[in-house]
Amino acid sequence: KAGVTQTPRYLIKTRGQQVTLSCSPISGHRSVSWYQQTPGQGLQFLFEYFSETQRNKGNFPGRFSGRQFSNSRSEMNVSTLELGDSALYLCASSRSAAVYEQYFGPGTRLTVT
């Protein structure tokens, strides 16, 4: 069974631009969570989606948004990029919101210049 896939793997953007990252969960998994990883702040929870509904949201500004499609694929969007948004963005999927095991994708490395 294929694992969690994330596209693109690497991305370079300039300040003020917006970016969309994509995550395809493991087949049969309906819950998708997003995390931001930076050297300074470590791993921080962004949001979680289940059955196209946002269930939880972390403490991030409104510039960070996401959505989930009927096939469970998820996208996250960051508008008006800032230098501090440079990070590794990790997506994780689980079979359902009640299943505790989350499986991570390889991440998207975003660099903002």
Using CB under 8 A as the criterion, which residues of the chain lie in contact with another protein when the complex forms?
Answer: 31, 33, 35, 42-43, 45, 48, 55-56, 58, 88, 90, 92, 94, 97-98, 100-107, 109
Instruction: Give the whole-angstrom CA distance, residue 40 versus residue 18.
Output: 22
Q: Between 1 and 101, name the residue whose CB sits nearer to another protein.
A: 101
Q: Between 14 and 38, name the residue whose CB sits nearer to another protein.
A: 38
Three-state SS across the chain?
Answer: CCCCEEECCEEEECCCCCEEEEEECCCCCCEEEEEEEECCCEEEEEEEEECCEEEEECCCCCCEEEEECCCCCEEEEECCCCHHHCEEEEEEEECCCCCCCCEECCCEEEEEC
Shortest Cβ distance from residue 71 to another protein (Å)?
Answer: 21
Shortest Cβ distance from residue 64 to another protein (Å)?
Answer: 14
Shortest Cβ distance from residue 89 to another protein (Å)?
Answer: 11
Are 51 and 98 in contact, with CB atoms under 8 Å apart? no
Q: Between 2 and 101, name the residue whose CB sits nearer to another protein.
A: 101
Q: Between 19 and 94, name the residue whose CB sits nearer to another protein.
A: 94
Shortest Cβ distance from residue 78 to another protein (Å)?
Answer: 19
